[in-house]
């Protein structure tokens, strides 16, 4: 029996090595074959007018109560206490609009159908882990939307962009309903991750810039999507956050453990076209250090107030302080030192994309509170 087990282990190791080599040689081809839909793109019918009045189209919004995933509060490890922050220490009233990342991986459609069981299950996990740092807000809103499937980002065919545009149309409708629903004097925080950040960037350029909401913007947390300091930021209408108290500004980071191999990201980024119409090339990526709230720089792990370490299900976890440092390198990537043990969803190259926000859960919460206080108190503004 033991001998058979050893043979099994040996064969498994060989298969894993062969798969790893194949991915390195044919990685893009494998990913495209596995994830890019082969079906024709079907235009998405516009949502009904005022569709987002329906609470069923929101993962999070006022009134959902205990089933709202964004209102989840993790415990600190080592008996260091529980969140939420006591009411008398909460920041002033503010509202958050959060756009979740890609949770639809199917090749059957270019856009996720509303109600797809697996995509919704994953999305709720993402909202629970990524939107929860923003939940000291008096209101937090996170819409369902017919997101572009993962394969849309792996093809140059027009269907990919059509799917992304269709997803943005839903996000835009949700955002407009959010703005209509929130008191006109309430400060606004906008946040997203990955595909959510891509849509948020478009919202900033096309909807927020130059609007009355711009004056109410506390900050935009555009995380997990590379933004060129040279070719993108000037077109957004909002500066990069340079200080921890600055408001009306943008924060962004993309996390890699060391040794980092960001070659796939950097190659795609270099070929892409910036918002100014010029190739992004080797221009620096916007990197906010989430441990300091400042553009660039580095900070030791003892500045980390709490990393959200998930359990195997990714549905629960605990906050571990002093776990991860942060350093913005010359390219604009956020390096986090030795690979932390956070789970099995680390991408090739020590890319901690899935964990961008959980790595700095408690610091993100503190950053929002600090900027809201500055906004309400008349502190520094980027505009």
Q: d(Cα 50, Cα 352) in Å, to the nearest integer?
A: 37
Q: Kindly indicate the confidence band of residue 31, based on its pLDDT and cuts at 50, 70 and 90.
A: low
Percentage of residues in the chain with pLDDT exceeding 90? Answer: 76
pLDDT on residue 4: 36
User: Is the confidence at residue 180, as pLDDT, over 80?
Assistant: yes
Task: Please classify residue 8 by burial: count the beta carbons closer than 10 Å to its beta carbon, then call 0-12 exposed, 13-18 middle and 19+ buried.
Answer: exposed
pLDDT on residue 343: 87
pLDDT on residue 49: 84
Q: Kindly indicate the confidence band of residue 175, based on its pLDDT and cuts at 50, 70 and 90.
A: very high
pLDDT on residue 16: 35
Element counts in the chain: helices (H) and strands (E): 7, 15
Write the pLDDT tens digit of every residue in 331-340.
Answer: 999 999 999 9
**Pick from 170, 120, 135, 115: nearest CA to 62:** 135
Determine which of 51-60, 87-96, 292-301 has the lowest per-residue pLDDT on average: 87-96
Enumerate residues 6+ apart whose C-beta is below 8 A from 277: none
Q: d(Cα 217, Cα 358) in Å, to the nearest integer?
A: 23
Sign of CA dihedral 100, 101, 103, 105: positive
If you average pLDDT over every residue of the chain, what do you get? 89
Mean pLDDT for the stretch of residues 188-217? 98
Helices (H), 188-228: 195-203
pLDDT on residue 311: 84
User: Is the confidence at residue 383, as pLDDT, over 70?
Assistant: no
User: Is the confidence at residue 81, as pLDDT, over 50?
Assistant: no
Write the pLDDT tens digit of every residue in 263-318.
Answer: 989 999 999 999 999 999 999 999 999 999 999 999 999 999 999 999 877 778 99
Mean pLDDT for the stretch of residues 98-120? 94
């Amino acid at each position: 029996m033991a001998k058979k087990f050893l043979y099994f282990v040996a064969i498994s190791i060989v298969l894993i090595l062969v798969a790893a080599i194949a991915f390195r040689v044919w990685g893009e081809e494998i990913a495209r074959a596995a994830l890019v839909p082969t079906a024709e793109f079907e235009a998405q019918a516009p949502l009904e007018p005022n569709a987002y009045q329906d609470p069923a189209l929101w993962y999070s919004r006022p009134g959902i109560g205990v089933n709202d995933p964004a209102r989840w509060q993790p415990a600190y490890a080592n008996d260091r206490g529980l969140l939420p922050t006591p009411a008398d220490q909460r920041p002033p009233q503010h509202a958050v609009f959060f756009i979740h990342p890609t949770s639809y991986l199917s090749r059957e459609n270019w856009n996720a159908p509303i109600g797809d069981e697996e995509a919704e299950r994953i999305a709720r996990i993402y909202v629970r882990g990524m939107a929860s740092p923003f939940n000291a807000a008096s209101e937090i809103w996170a819409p369902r939307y017919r997101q572009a499937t993962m394969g849309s980002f792996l093809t140059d065919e027009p269907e990919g962009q059509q799917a992304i545009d269709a997803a943005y149309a839903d996000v835009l409708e949700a955002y407009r309903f959010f703005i209509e629903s929130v008191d006109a004097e309430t400060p606004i925080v906008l946040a997203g991750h990955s595909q959510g950040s891509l849509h948020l960037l478009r919202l900033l350029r096309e909807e927020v810039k130059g609007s009355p909401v711009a004056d109410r913007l506390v900050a935009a947390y555009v995380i997990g999507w590379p933004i060129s300091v040279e070719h993108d930021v000037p077109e957004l209408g909002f500066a990069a956050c340079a200080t921890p108290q600055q408001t009306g500004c943008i924060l962004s980071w993309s996390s890699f453990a060391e040794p980092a191999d960001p070659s796939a990201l950097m190659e795609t980024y270099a070929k892409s076209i910036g918002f100014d119409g010029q190739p992004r090339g080797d221009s620096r990526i916007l990197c906010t250090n989430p441990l300091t709230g400042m553009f660039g720089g580095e900070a030791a792990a003892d500045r980390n107030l709490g990393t959200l370490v998930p359990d195997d299900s990714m549905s629960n976890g605990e906050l571990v302080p002093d776990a991860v440092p942060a350093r913005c390198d010359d390219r604009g990537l956020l390096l986090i030192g030795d690979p932390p043990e956070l789970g099995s969803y680390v991408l090739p190259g020590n890319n901690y994309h899935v964990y961008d926000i959980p790595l700095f859960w408690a610091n993100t919460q503190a950053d929002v509170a600090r900027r809201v206080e500055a906004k309400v108190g008349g502190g520094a503004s980027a505009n």
